[in-house]
A and B are shown apart, each in its own frame.
Chain A
Amino acid sequence: MRSDQHHASRRCVGPVNAKWLLLVLVGLALLCQLPCGAEFEPELSHSYLQTQFAWAMYIDSCEVNHYLNYPGSSLHPLTKVRIRYRYFPHDGRPVNWPAKTYDEFWYHDGKPVGLRRNAEINLNKNDIGVIVIGQAADHFNSISSTSDALVRLLVNLQLQRAVVGAVIVPPDQYDPLLANLERYGFSSTMKQVSGPQMKIHLRCDSGSRETYLCLH
């Protein structure tokens, strides 16, 4: 029963049945608190994020069954990966900036097939932020889709000279995400090399595990 509920909560809903599913989801959320990742929601309003970081991003994914779903479709099923962001100004500006959607990726079979950029972000150099990995679609491809979107986001942020203090991952996605990042060349083995480097501080949201990954 729990598995089915969990699965249902990770599907993007179509316009027709959205209302009913939303009601169901609200009910399920009240009845069934997920053991991980439940503290951080897409609105990024958790006090920990607001006090510890200058900005935060949230990555979640869901299946999009109503897109390109026709006989012979070579792009079905699709996984949508959404990246939301929020600023937490600490320089006197108002802090009530709402969370907004930054990027939306569409993946098929773990490969990116589409991107919609909804906004431009302008982060102050050296501002330390955090990326929260949220709910993922159940099927295996969602992890590789999330990993790919995460790496693309990290490169984007690196070019903006923003500092990612940590990537917070729910326990059930920790090992799959770690394995996927290693496929991109990230390694937990520190090497003494010179020249620009890229680093990911992966942390389980319960604080029980953390891994530093380097891209040399």
Chain B
Amino acid sequence: MICLSVLCVPEAESRKRKGLRVGSAQWTYFWNLYWLANWRRWSQIPGFAPAPQLQVTGSVVVPTPAPPAPPAPPAPFVPPSPASATILTFNNTSGTDVYLCVSTQSGLQPCVAGSIMQDGCPSNVSQLGVVDLATNQSGSFVQWPSTSPQNGWYLWKNGHTLQVFNNMTNPYTGLNNGCLQGLVFGVNIWGANCGCNFQTPGVPVPPGDFLCNGFPDTDPTSPTYNNDTPSTYTLVPNGSTAFEPSLNLPGLQCNLAFGNNPHESYDITCVNGSNAIFSVTMTPPAAGPYFTYNVGNGSQSATTTFTTQNSWVLVNPPTVKASCDDNCIDPSAAIPGSSRAGVFPYGATVCTSNPDPNPPCTNTADPYVLNKQFCAATAGSGCNFDRQPNAGQVFGGTLAVTYTGPATPPASCP
């Protein structure tokens, strides 16, 4: 019998004494109704203990001990960047795990002749930090290859958001300034890989050629871990997309102000092709500073949340057929024919020029030499988002980059 309280037992004994013949189930039912109806009044009697929580084990009713208090959640990881720094996050909504690849500036160290590195800005991937906001775990990019400290990869799990931050201190101040200067991010491949456009199915890429199809073995238990092997090649028939932020610049080199404009900027570049769709949402601080971008011959200031996105490129390598680029015109623009804000089209180092004065894919052995550029943007003076800092070299706000999935072109040009 499952009772609502141990009071059932004396009730049964009392009934037995009086010789009543009412069925046990009926008595239990009536008694429990009576007990429930009066419970509130009885519980107000001083010293009347509330009924303990009961647990049924077979036919034995035992009290359940109070469950232990759940462990306190770990304190959120707080990157060492200053609170006023612009935050950079990466959200993977593609439905699959991918690898977030990053390249820092090309090995130029601060205070070296010709260097553009500003003080306290990471010049190799070990100086960058990553925190997975879904798990609150912090980590770092895996340097690859071991001889090139400017390239790294990080497992970017489906549905997870990463925050990438500066993990070093400015040697002149001893403080972290949050600087993320001249970084290049890609998915499953590092940027600048025009050569992959000419890849012929069935013909392997030489191992070690990381600018083409190669990608390191990411299985930490494998003897070839972090080495480039043929089985880890990534097919990128239309090149690769890159997101290029330059954030929280201190405006100082060797602790001296310099003439170069210490602004923030970012763009999505399909100069070397497109293998991924990035959607970049910028949320500025309420009081600015605000990014500006070019539309047609004019310039717009983004004072509220603003999103831009790249699209596919069809390089069509097998034969010289119609090829096309969907990155030159934004189909959702308010003004028809406007370009995608902050997006460099394929082969356009000067994003508004066609033909480009310095095409990035200049391999003379390229059998598809005509496939260098298909269109240009109509973005006035350029395809970047730019902003000047507020007083004190303060920027702020958030850049949220979402990887929505691979960029797959249609079978033929529209």
Contacts and interface: CB of A to CB of B under 8 A. Distances in A.
Main SS class of interface, A: loop
A92 B93 contact: no
Nearest to B230: A91
A163 B411 contact: no
B97 A50 contact: no
User: Which of B94, B158, B404, B408 is most buried by chain A, counting CB atoms within 10 A of its CB?
Assistant: B408
Given A128-B408, A165-B408, A201-B408, A91 B95 contact: no
A90 B235 contact: yes
B161 A194 contact: yes
A214 B93 CA distance: 9
A6 B111 CA distance: 73
Contact of B405 (A53, A130, A199, A208): A199
Given A158-B95, A161-B96, A207-B414, A92 B202 contact: yes
Interface in B172-206: 188, 199, 201-204
Contact of B95 (A39, A54, A124, A199): A199
Interface in A148-193: 158, 161-166, 168, 190, 193
A199 B94 contact: yes
A16 B291 CA distance: 71
A72 interface: no
B199 A90 contact: yes
| Max chain B Cβ within 10 angstroms of own Cβ: one of A46, A88, A126, A162 | A126
B342 interface: no
A93 B230 CA distance: 10
A interface bracket (residues with beta carbon within 8 Å of B): 35 or more
B203 A92 contact: yes
A197 B95 contact: yes
Category for how many chain B residues contact A:
35 or more
Nearest to B404: A212
B319 to A, nearest CB: 8
Given A90-B201, A92-B204, A195-B159, A128 B235 contact: yes
A205 interface: yes
B237 interface: yes
Contacts, number: 111
A126 B234 contact: yes
A128 B406 contact: yes
Interface string B198-238: 01011110000000010000000000000000110111011
B250 interface: no
B235 A54 contact: yes
Given A51-B318, A89-B202, A92-B203, 18 more contacts: A50-B318, A53-B408, A90-B233, A91-B230, A95-B202, A124-B231, A126-B96, A126-B188, A127-B235, A128-B406, A165-B408, A194-B133, A194-B160, A195-B134, A196-B159, A197-B158, A205-B410, A207-B412
14 contacts: A47-B318, A51-B201, A90-B213, A91-B230, A91-B231, A93-B202, A94-B202, A126-B99, A128-B406, A195-B134, A197-B93, A198-B95, A199-B94, A207-B411
When A and B form their complex, which 8 residue pairs have the shortest distance between CB atoms, in order from nearest? Answer: A207-B410, A92-B204, A165-B408, A199-B95, A48-B411, A196-B159, A95-B202, A166-B408
Interface of B: 93-99, 133-134, 157-161, 188, 199, 201-204, 213, 230-231, 233-235, 237-238, 316-319, 404-406, 408-414
Interface of A: 39, 46-48, 50-54, 88-95, 124-128, 130, 158, 161-166, 168, 190, 193-199, 201, 203, 205-208, 212, 214
